[in-house]
Amino acid sequence: MILLFSSWCSYAENTDEDVLSLLELDMVSQVNPLGLALTANGYYRQIYNHDKSPLWDGLYYQVGAQAHVNPAFSRAGIHFEWLPVAVLKLRLQYDRYSFSGGNGSLLAFASADALFGDNVLEFREGDELSGYGDRSLFRFELRVKHNRLIFRNVTDLAYYRFLGGGPYYLEREHEILMATRDHIVSNQLFLLFETKTKNSRYYIGPYHDYLDVSKSGLSRERLGVTGYQEFNKTLGGMKNLRWFVQAGTYQSERNREDEMYLIVGMGGDFKL
C-alpha cells in the first residue's frame, strides 16, 4: 500500500490573547494514492499591534517547530512566521527528512521521463532506500474576507536536497519525480463561504492547486471542493476540534490524469 501525506489548511485563527502558545495535532488520510500521516505543529505567537482598522489589527510574529510522520518518511523542522498586514502572511521554514527505506521511500529513477504509477511502485517494492534530505521553504499567503466570503491564495517556493546518487527520486508528499537538488513552486487557491452556528463554524468552497518542479520538468494540477468545520468545544484538554475533507480530480498528472482523489483529516489544539 502506498502511503503519503497532503496537508490540510486551517482557516480559523481568531484569539483575544496577545501571547499564544499552542500545539496543533492532526491526522490525515488520503485515497488515490492511499496515505496516512500524523502531524504536530507547536508555536509561540506574539501579537504586537492592535488597531481599529481590520487591516492593521492582530498583527503578529511567530516562532515554532513542526514534525510529520508517515510510513515512507518523517521530517522535523523549525519556522518563523510574520503577519505584517492582515491580508498577508509570510513564513520561512526548514525541515530535515528521514526516509524509512519502505513504502516508496527514496525510490531512485534514471530519468525524469520514467513512469512512477502504482503498478511501477508495486513492481519495484524492495528497491527503496533509507537516507536523509533537506527542505528550505518560503511561503506567502494572501487572504481577504468580505462578509462571509473568504479568498485565500498560498504560494510555496521550496528547495529540496536529497542525499544520494539519484539522479531522480520519487518525492512522496507530492507524488512526483525530483532531481537530487531541485525546486518546487506550488500554489493553492481557495474560495470559501463561511457559516457560523452556536457551537461551530463551517467553511466550504472550490479549491485549485498547481505545482511545478524545476529540474525534472514535471507538474501537477488538481481541482476540487474543500470543506472544513471547527467546534467551540474541548475534549480532554484539546480545543479547536476540527475535521477537514477535500475531494476532486487530477486535471493534469502523468499517472492519474482525470482520476478522482479524496483527503480527510481531523485534529485539535493543546494550549502550552
**pLDDT given for residue 233 in this prediction:** 87
Q: Which whole number is the average pLDDT over 190-205?
A: 93
The three-state secondary structure class of 11 is coil
pLDDT of residue 12 exceeding 70, the answer is no
Q: Quick one: how far is CA 139 from the chain centroid?
A: 11
**pLDDT given for residue 39 in this prediction:** 95
pTM of the model: 0.91
Query: Residue 15 — pLDDT band, cuts 50, 70, 90?
Result: low
Q: Quick one: how far is CA 247 from the chain centroid?
A: 15
Name the percent of the chain lying above pLDDT 90.
74
DSSP secondary structure string for all residues of 125-184: TT---EEEEEEEEEEEEEEEEETTEEEEEEEEEEEEEESS--SEEEETTTTEEEESEEEE
Number of residues that this document lists for the chain: 272
What are phi and psi for residue 196, nearest 5 degrees? -115, 145
Report which of 62, 54, 43, 63 is spatially closest to residue 85, judged by C-alpha positions: 54
How is residue 206 written as a grid cell? 472550490
pLDDT of residue 17 exceeding 80, the answer is no
CB 18 within 8 A of CB 47: yes
